[in-house]
Amino acid sequence: MGVTDDFLRGRGRQVLTADEWAALEQAIDRIETFPARTAITRRGDRVRESTLLIEGAMCRYLDARDGYRQLLAYHVPGDFVDMHGYTLQRLDHDVATIVESRVAMVAHGRIDQIMRDHPRLAKMLWRSTLLDAAMHREWIFRLGRLDAAGRVAHFICEVHARMEAIGRVTGDVFALPLTQQDIGEACGLTSVHVNRTLRRLREEGVADVARGEVRVGDAARLARIGEFDADYLYLDTGPWGKIDV
């Protein structure tokens, strides 16, 4: 059982052929550990390898002129953080750790090999980038159509579902090592308003976000506030989408 096990966990982990499994494991060049709050890649950088998050938490963001930033994605263990860099070559945003994180580095040359020799596996990597896009779409919806409570609730719901999928929810509690400022940057809100919003959610028994943890008090209500439907995470179909190439 190698590090790619994380990539498959919670994604259905259907049968990999021995060949495919080996190709995925061998694609990993090395494991690296980055400290908390560290930028891994900058917008415009040419990238020659992609990173699979094994342990920790990471994010992607764009900077605005006024110094604030907009989070684009939040990453949990098992996520390919910048697989899109394989084909696009240059990143259009920054990538950073939230807490100390262990990541597997995958050289793009290895992915070329997978593209040539393992079309099913290639399709799975493609799929991981499409899930990113699906989450992006839901973030657009969140920012465009929901009010502060809805945005925060939607964000919590998403992370909850994804943490659940990788077995990192204990009871109704899961880790969310973000400051209120971070949550604001994800939801297009100021940290002050995030504070007020979290207080309301807490007072109403919907969710308690504090000290890097979330305790979900009323998941159904939280989902309703955030107009959340986990469909877009495609948790049911697994990494292969039940089809063959």
Decide: is 224 part of the binding site for DNA (CB under 7 A).
Answer: no
Q: Binding to a second copy by residue 4, rule CB under 8 A?
A: no
Q: Following DSSP, what letter does each residue of 42-98 receive, concatenated? A: -TT-B-SEEEEEEES-EEEEEE-TTS-EEEEEEE-TT-BSSTHHHHH-B-SSEEEES
Regarding 71 and contact with DNA (CB under 7 A), the answer is no
Asked if residue 68 binds a second copy (CB under 8 A), the reply is yes
The distance of closest approach from Cβ of residue 130 to DNA in the complex, given in angstroms and rounded to an integer, is 30
CA 51 vs CA 34, 73, 114, 243: distances in Å: 12, 14, 16, 26
Spatial distance between the Cα atoms of 32 and 174, rounded to a whole number of angstroms: 25
Residue from 20, 49, 79, 138 binding a second copy (CB under 8 A): 138
**β-pair partners for 209:** 214
92 lies in the site for a second copy, by CB under 8 A: yes
Nearer to a second copy, 139 or 174 (CB): 139
- Which residues 6+ apart lie within 8 Å of 138 measured at CB? 154, 158, 232
What size, in residues, is the chain? 245
Does position 38 bind DNA by CB under 7 A?
Answer: no
Residues 203-222 as x/- pattern, contact with a second copy by CB under 8 A: --------------------
Among 12, 190, 224, 227, binds DNA (CB under 7 A): 190
x/- string (CB under 7 A) for DNA, residues 49-68?
--------------------
Q: Is 65 in the site for a second copy (CB under 8 A)?
A: yes
